[in-house]
A and B are shown apart, each in its own frame.
Chain A
Amino acid sequence: MHRIFRLAHTILSVYYAYMLEYRAELLFWVLSGSLPIILMGIWTQAAQSGQFGLGAIDFARYFIAVFMVRQFTVVWVIWEFEREIVEGKLSFRLLQPLNPFWHHFASHFAERFARLPFAFGLLALFFWLYPNAFWIPSFGNLSRFAIAIILAFTLRFLMQYTLAMFAFWIERASALEQFSFLFYLFLSGMIAPLEQFPPFMREIVLWTPFPYLIYFPASLLVGLPVDFGRGLLVILGWSTGFFLICRWLWQKGLRQYSGMGA
């Protein structure tokens, strides 16, 4: 246990230092996630007509929550893993008695701490510009959000890491991620809250992993009604599924690995 704690502490502190090397880049990375703010403008305008069930303020809160959820859950592991395979850098990781998964997970986790101060800064700026949209979530909602956001990040990471395993066979596995991003974009609630979907479609979508990556935690934060228990079960179910597939692909992939360029 002591070993795991020391390992986690060391890796997180070094990767945090690594991320802080990119001071200017961090701000741009945060800004690059501002699609929800643009969509917010569109939806709040549309809500003036009054035919969407949610008011302009609700939309503003929802999309600012989406922006924050994206900041907590952004994942790029597939590009890093692909590069490690193509350039043979995975070799160094394989020589060490620690699954490379943990290096990637830790670097993403540490990056959150480097990124969030910028994100909170933008949040403060937003509420200063639109004080009407300001709200304070209840303690209960905030607690449920905290659990949901950790699980959402884990699920998103596992999903992308599983796709990354295909780099053992096809080298440009990021193409798979770009394809799946289409589903992520439309089904996760990033473009529109799930309330805007037709009911039968919404019911189907709620069994896929996508809404739990954005819609679920964002709704908890703004107080939209969601089934928390069912949400947790679906997330855990998908996470377990992806974890098992990922492990299987890892074992198969290692036999395929040729340590290119190294």
Chain B
Amino acid sequence: MSAIVVENLSKVYPVAVKEPGLKGTVQHFFHRTYREVKAVQAISFEIEPGEVVGFLGANGAGKTTTLKMLTGLIHPSSGRVNVAGYTPFQRKTGFLQKITLVMGQKQQLIWDLPALDSLRINAAVYNIPDRQFQQQVDELTEMLALAGKLTQPVRKLSLGERMKAELLAALVHRPQVLFLDEPTLGLDVNAQVSVREFLREYNQRYGATVLLTSHYMADITALCQRVLVIHEGQLIYDGSLEGLVDRFAPCREVKVELAQPYPPEKLALYAELEAIEGQIVRFLVPQEILTRTVAKILTDLDVIDLAVTEPPIEEVIGRVLKAGLVV
């Protein structure tokens, strides 16, 4: 049975519209007009238990709204959702015991108290026996390298430590399905790496299902085998990360180091020229003629070195998100 099943899920919000200026303000006060915003439009997908799936989309594409519907925080306008065998919006205890949501820009820990106090509340709320709670906290503290930090007031922790403590609080009841909304937001590179490693280890150790949104492509490439891409509320891609690159980046970059300089007009006969820096030339070659072109370059030109690379994934995904390329 799938851990997450989403069928034709939609969410429509009414949003008040206000014209700028005094006239607009007065009009807005006496007569409020609303327009409907289709935040999510009939999306469908399934996620199997233990999968780690990246959820990509530009700001306002509908990622967070979808996560809110999957965690039962908001009610869908239409469609069907099933998470861990439950309908999220009913917020049954069994459902809440099985899921968690981590929001990088929000915190649940009590600011003025040590994190351990908030964890004790969570243990009591989730009805975790004392011994099991201690075991869980010890294990997660070790995985997150948080030893000695849980007894300090949360406000005294660094941003990275606080995010790790938030993760600990969100996982202390050992949920099976994790929804992570920008879990590495604002963290430095080292903290990002350690959060990423922790998530990978958590997934492997407990077989948890993870749906992750992030603007840091490194999070996605390090953790996700599969990605969902949402654009203006519609799901435009569901498949492997490599597949996304293949589909949306049909060119490869061929970097050639030549033994002698050649005139650009001659080089341009082989493929589109991306750049020429002395004797180092970079071509952009469509994938279907890649082998032929490389062979021709090697035969015709005096080549010292040749390398074929994929364009950076950030660039590909940026292009997909910007253009909303529909598959």
Contacts and interface: CB of A to CB of B under 8 A. Distances in A.
B73 A259 contact: yes
Interface in B64-83: 64, 68, 71-75
Given A95-B96, A95-B99, A259-B73, A14 B117 contact: yes
A97 B112 contact: no
Contacts of B100: 95
Contact of B101 (A7, A95, A257): A95
Interface string B124-142: 1111000000000000000
B105 to A, nearest CB: 8
Interface stretch (A64-72, A85-93, A213-221): A85-93
B113 A14 contact: yes
A95 B105 CA distance: 16
Contacts, number: 69
Given A17-B113, A262-B103, A94 B127 contact: no
Nearest to A91: B73
A88 B106 contact: yes
B123 interface: yes
Contact of A259 (B74, B91, B120, B123): B74
Interface of A: 3, 6-7, 9-11, 14, 17-18, 21, 88-89, 91-92, 94-98, 254-255, 257-259, 262
A95 B181 CA distance: 14
Contacts of B121: 10-11, 14
B194 interface: no
Contacts of B103: 91, 262
A96 B99 contact: no
Interface in B88-121: 91, 93, 96-97, 99-101, 103, 105-106, 108, 110, 112-113, 117-118, 120-121
Contacts of B44: none
Interface of B: 13, 64, 68, 71-75, 91, 93, 96-97, 99-101, 103, 105-106, 108, 110, 112-113, 117-118, 120-127
B113 A21 contact: yes
B106 A97 contact: no
A98 B73 contact: no
A96 B96 contact: yes
20 contacts: A7-B124, A7-B127, A10-B123, A10-B124, A14-B113, A14-B118, A14-B121, A17-B117, A21-B112, A94-B91, A95-B72, A95-B99, A95-B101, A97-B97, A97-B126, A98-B125, A257-B74, A259-B73, A259-B74, A262-B105
B71 A95 contact: yes
B123 A258 contact: no
A33 B68 CA distance: 41
Nearest to B94: A97
> Which A-B residue pairs are the 8 nearest by beta carbons?
A10-B124, A92-B108, A97-B93, A97-B96, A7-B124, A21-B112, A98-B125, A14-B117
Contacts of A7: 124-125, 127
Contacts of B73: 91, 94-95, 257, 259
A258 B13 contact: yes
Given A21-B112, A94-B91, 14 more contacts: A7-B124, A7-B125, A10-B120, A11-B121, A14-B118, A18-B117, A94-B73, A96-B96, A97-B93, A254-B75, A257-B74, A258-B13, A262-B105, A262-B106
